[in-house]
Chains A and B, each alone.
Chain A
Amino acid sequence: MSALDQPPGAFRARARDALAAKRMQAALDSSTFRLYDHRLAAWDGLGDVEALRETARRIRERTIARLDDHLEAFADAVEARGGNVFFARTAEEARAYVVDVCTRAGARLAVKSKSMLSEEIGLNTALEAAGVRAVETDLGEYLLQLAGRRPAHIVAPAIELTKEDCAELLSRAGGVAVEPELEALTAAARRQLREAFQTADVGITGANFAVAETGSICLVTNEGNGRLVSSLPRVCISLLGMERVVPTTAELAVLLQLLARSGTGQPLTVYTTLLTGPRRDGEEDGPEESHVVIIDNDRTNLVRGRYRTMLSCIRCGACLNVCPVYRKAGGNAYSDVYSGPMGAVLVPLLAGLAQAPALPHASSLCGACTEACPVKIPLHELLLDLRRDLVAEGVASRRERLAFALWSLVWSRPWSYRLTTRAARLGQRFGAVAGPGRVWARAGRALPRLARRRYRDRRR
């Protein structure tokens, strides 16, 4: 079972838990609205936003159209600068390579900066099994790791923890009581993680982008942990999703402007770092050994056909913050890794529809995600396409298929259509007895009443 798989009924059950948790609802409301407001404010002063989005869309789609060439150029450029490149087709190959590098380095401790791909391939479990302790250093992810929980938002992972939760976790980890005050909590985390940075043998990073021409890995962070992870340990390993490459730094400049604005509403994140190979002659810090693991893990499922555009995703998180379903259901309802509209599209494509049949339905199809996407991925249309696939591939339940077959039979004939609309006035008093009407009415809401006369009758 992969980290992306979702047991049947999981979305519904987890979303229901989230809806019942008042604190979580408050946290989701305040954080998603805050990120949303900041995003809107950040576009002011940028000039023609629509033109920039169109440019970004073309950059991504053109790069994906020639992904093989760009990946080859990138790998050659890394190797020319003394770095190592490994092409991993599966999560298993990627894990094995990373574990092997750690074992050869004699590593006992690895520090990590945030990487969704690391969650996707289940890296931490593999490292622990090989006797390497893996410490997450993004503040939110560190807290979640202490709590034994999974990230709930791709940009703000610990969106659901309160400062009292954090104080308890940090006190236990450090062995000294920490006040539940922001400054004390931050200082305690800084102290605890500095120790890890200074003793770790290996640093593991994700990659927001890779630049083919220069052989660079680009990391964006606000905390600076990406810089520490890639500067202090002797060995640095970067995990790169194969679609995250750009041809040159000129395209990177455009995408970086959009990434931070879309994610957190900043013009640029605090630290934008480009890592190009290991440390050079005469430099006193930086890794002596650097590795890039380029990972497919079923992304090739998307290279053909209409879902190809999903490979353009730059993981900014904007679609999560605007999504009415995400705002209520929370990140953990979707999968252990990706959530929100981008997760609802990506997870079924990577893991297979049968592994995540509820996700294409986790949307009201309002299109807010599509409107927010900085690279113009038509997310809500892709969700609709996936629903079609659920039926075509026979994944949709028999009951659902039967219901829609009957409905289409009845409404595709004028006489039976007329009959049902006439019967609707009689039937509406039973609307709250079963089906969607019952769920609607259970929350204390009344179903809208039908007009006394049908529109078609009034025209006569």
Chain B
Amino acid sequence: MDLTTLAAAIAAFTGIGAGIGIGIATGRAVDAVARQPEASGKIMTLLLLGGALAEATAIYGFVIAIIILVS
């Protein structure tokens, strides 16, 4: 079996962290909107930003996987 494929698959596990992070962030955002519905616009912007930042870890994993596959 080719080990580089396996290495790339392992790199894809970074998705776990991003998933948990975005899940927590969204849960908290729902809490916040339930508590203060009038602040939903601001919360939405912050949530999108936080989601994009949390997603970055998964993206690093993807980039590493591609680097492994290409090299």
| Chains A and B are bound partners | no
Chain B residues within 8 Å of A, Cβ to Cβ: none
Chain A residues within 8 Å of B, Cβ to Cβ: none
